[in-house]
């Protein structure tokens, strides 16, 4: 199958990601079916799409007529068989629970047309594991959109052990047709590309607090001074400290025990102070977004420390064969977050030798192998 053959996309789940992915598909000319387990959930998902499109009309990004035509291209279902009967491409966005994913894929395998590709939007789960429940593992692929799906450009296309080249290419091309920036992930490895390159920063920022090197405000102020719209600690609060905690546990199990949640993070989660959603986390959110005093910026904080550990982690993805090229990693990092440059673009400017030296120092200072420079970083040949 080719991307041109994909006319109808079915989205399983109408929650935060599902309704967003359905909207992106509609905005780019696809016919869409959206399915959830109860009528009120699909109704709510459709309402969210309508509201979002109304905003696009207000901003003059689409016309009222366009909006009407696109909303005419979506059908909503509770019955799985009805939803998938003429699907060419299915994207699953059900809760991140393996038993649910497997149940959904078993049903999809039974009920979706034989030619249909079955994609999962899982953030962390094994594509190979999900595919193994079906009789078409070569047609199962990871398709990791970022939140909010309508705005974020990156889509990671993840290969399971049995995913065929054809399926990878169709998923890549469908994402490109959805006006996204797809990147192929050649191995279904923890955190794929974007979250894996970010992961060591959680050890770094955790250790800064545990060791009293700086306060969250001092670091956030410094990062804001350097042009980041939101500092790392505020971002953690924004996403939820429980999310950060669980992702540390996941990386501790799958990548290195050094990812174990730090003392301060565990204390916050145990106390139920989870950030924005509870009104208090690292910062106080009871009166809205915390006011960060930029005058408190920690002047001697060296941004190259942060770049060094991210470039180093990115070289691991090349060594492990998770990403095909430095350019793919740069593309993922630029389109998945707000930065203007990817890690390898930055490394060229700073110098690999300098970054390797930094990593040596940081590995000793923070007593973790995660920061130890890889051979690739030391040689500076990517």
Q: Which residues are tagged catalytic?
A: 144
Q: Which stretch binds ligand NAD (CB under 6 A): 35-43, 48-56, 130-138, 322-330?
A: 35-43
- Which one of 8, 18, 219, 326 is in contact with ligand NAD (CB under 6 A)? 18
DSSP H helices, 59-123, are 64-71, 80-84, 98-111
Q: Which stretch binds ligand NAD (CB under 6 A): 70-78, 121-129, 211-219, 229-237?
A: 121-129
- Which one of 147, 179, 254, 325 is in contact with ligand NAD (CB under 6 A)? 147
Q: Does 41 bind ligand NAD (CB under 6 A)?
A: yes
Contact string (CB under 6 A) for ligand NAD, positions 177-216, x = contact: ----------------------------------------
Q: Does 133 bind ligand NAD (CB under 6 A)?
A: no
Cβ-proximal residue to ligand NAD, closest one = 15
Q: Based on CB atoms, which residue is closest to ligand NAD, 129 or 380?
A: 129
CB of 35 to ligand NAD, least distance (A): 5
Structure-derived torsion over alpha carbons of residues 307, 312, 313, 318, reported in degrees to the nearest 10: 130
Q: 168: Cβ–Cβ under 8 A, 6 or more apart, which residues?
A: 141, 157, 159, 184
Residue identified by tokens 């060229």 is 348
CB of 24 to ligand NAD, least distance (A): 13
Q: Comparing C-alpha atoms, which of 260, 262, 264, 257 is closest to residue 282?
A: 264
Q: Which stretch binds ligand NAD (CB under 6 A): 32-40, 66-74, 164-172, 327-335?
A: 32-40
CA-to-CA separations, 268 to 81, 249, 265, 283, 324, in angstroms, rounded: 44, 15, 5, 11, 38
Q: Based on CB atoms, which residue is closest to ligand NAD, 255 or 347?
A: 255
- Which one of 82, 96, 267, 319 is in contact with ligand NAD (CB under 6 A)? 96
Taking each helix axis from N to C end, the angle separating 194-210 and 232-239, rounded to the nearest 10 degrees, works out to: 110
Q: Which stretch binds ligand NAD (CB under 6 A): 12-20, 48-56, 177-185, 297-305?
A: 12-20
140-145 and 31-35 beta bridge pairing: unpaired
Q: Which stretch binds ligand NAD (CB under 6 A): 89-97, 187-195, 278-286, 374-382?
A: 89-97
Residue identified by tokens 């953690």 is 236
- Which one of 95, 113, 272, 351 is in contact with ligand NAD (CB under 6 A)? 95
Q: Based on CB atoms, which residue is closest to ligand NAD, 332 or 359?
A: 332
DSSP 4-53: GG--EEEEE--SHHHHHHHHHHHHTT-EEEEE-SSHHHHHHHHHHHHHHH
Burial class (CB in 10 A: 0-12, 13-18, 19+), 375: exposed
Distance of CA 158 to the CA centre of its chain: 12
Q: Based on CB atoms, which residue is closest to ligand NAD, 14 or 333?
A: 14
Distance CA(91)–CA(144), nearest Å, equals 10
3-class SS of residue 74: strand
- Which one of 6, 14, 34, 127 is in contact with ligand NAD (CB under 6 A)? 14
Total interface residues for ligand NAD by CB under 6 A: 23
Q: Does 100 bind ligand NAD (CB under 6 A)?
A: yes
Q: Based on CB atoms, which residue is closest to ligand NAD, 158 or 214?
A: 158
3-class SS of residue 1: coil
Q: Based on CB atoms, which residue is closest to ligand NAD, 154 or 318?
A: 154
Residue identified by tokens 């207000």 is 58
Q: Which stretch binds ligand NAD (CB under 6 A): 7-15, 59-67, 220-228, 358-366?
A: 7-15
Q: Based on CB atoms, which residue is closest to ligand NAD, 193 or 359?
A: 193
Q: Does 15 bind ligand NAD (CB under 6 A)?
A: yes
Distance CA(151)–CA(325), nearest Å, equals 25
Q: Comparing C-alpha atoms, which of 179, 132, 131 is closest to residue 154?
A: 179
Q: Based on CB atoms, which residue is closest to ligand NAD, 146 or 366?
A: 146
154-158 and 140-145 beta bridge pairing: antiparallel
- Whether residue 13 contacts residue 42, with contact meaning beta carbons closer than 8 Å, is answered with no
Contact residues for ligand NAD, defined by CB under 6 A: 12-18, 35-37, 41, 93-96, 100, 104, 121-123, 145-147
């Amino acid at each position: 199958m080719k991307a041109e053959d994909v006319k109808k996309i079915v989205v399983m789940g109408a929650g935060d990601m599902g309704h967003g992915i359905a909207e992106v598909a509609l905005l780019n000319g696809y016919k869409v079916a959206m399915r959830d387990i109860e009528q009120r959930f699909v109704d709510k998902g459709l309402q969210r799409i309508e509201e979002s499109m109304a905003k696009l009309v207000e901003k003059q990004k689409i016309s009222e007529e366009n909006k009407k035509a696109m909303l005419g291209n979506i059908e909503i279902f509770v019955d799985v068989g009805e939803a998938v009967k003429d699907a060419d491409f299915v994207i699953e966005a059900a809760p991140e629970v393996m038993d649910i994913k497997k149940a959904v894929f078993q049903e999809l395998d039974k009920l979706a047309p034989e030619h249909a590709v079955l994609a999962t939007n899982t953030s962390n789960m094994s594509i190979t594991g999900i595919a193994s429940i079906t009789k078409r593992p070569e047609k199962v692929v990871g398709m990791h959109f970022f939140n909010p799906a309508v705005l974020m450009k990156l889509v990671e296309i993840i290969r399971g052990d049995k995913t065929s080249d054809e399926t990878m290419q169709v998923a890549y091309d469908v994402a490109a047709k959805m006006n996204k920036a797809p990147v192929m992930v050649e191995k279904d490895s923890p955190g794929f590309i974007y979250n894996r390159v970010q992961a060591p920063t959680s050890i770094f920022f955790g250790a800064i607090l545990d060791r009293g090197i700086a306060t969250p405000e001092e670091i956030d102020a410094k990062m804001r001074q350097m042009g980041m719209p939101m500092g790392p600690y505020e971002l953690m609060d924004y996403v939820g400290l429980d999310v950060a905690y669980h992702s540390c546990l996941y990386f501790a199990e799958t990548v290195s025990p050094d990812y174990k949640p730090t003392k301060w993070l565990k204390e916050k989660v145990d106390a139920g102070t989870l950030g924005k959603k509870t009104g208090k986390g690292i910062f106080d959110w009871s009166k809205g977004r915390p006011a960060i005093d930029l005058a408190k910026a920690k002047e001697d904080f060296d941004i190259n420390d942060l770049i060094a550990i991210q470039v180093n982690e990115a070289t691991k993805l090349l060594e492990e064969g998770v990403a095909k090229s430095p350019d793919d990693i740069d593309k993922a990092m630029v389109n998945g977050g707000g930065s203007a440059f990817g890690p390898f673009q930055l490394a060229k400017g700073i110098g690999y030798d300098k970054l390797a030296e930094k990593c040596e120092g940081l590995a000793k200072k923070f007593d973790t192998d995660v920061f130890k420079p890889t051979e690739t970083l030391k040689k500076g040949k990517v």
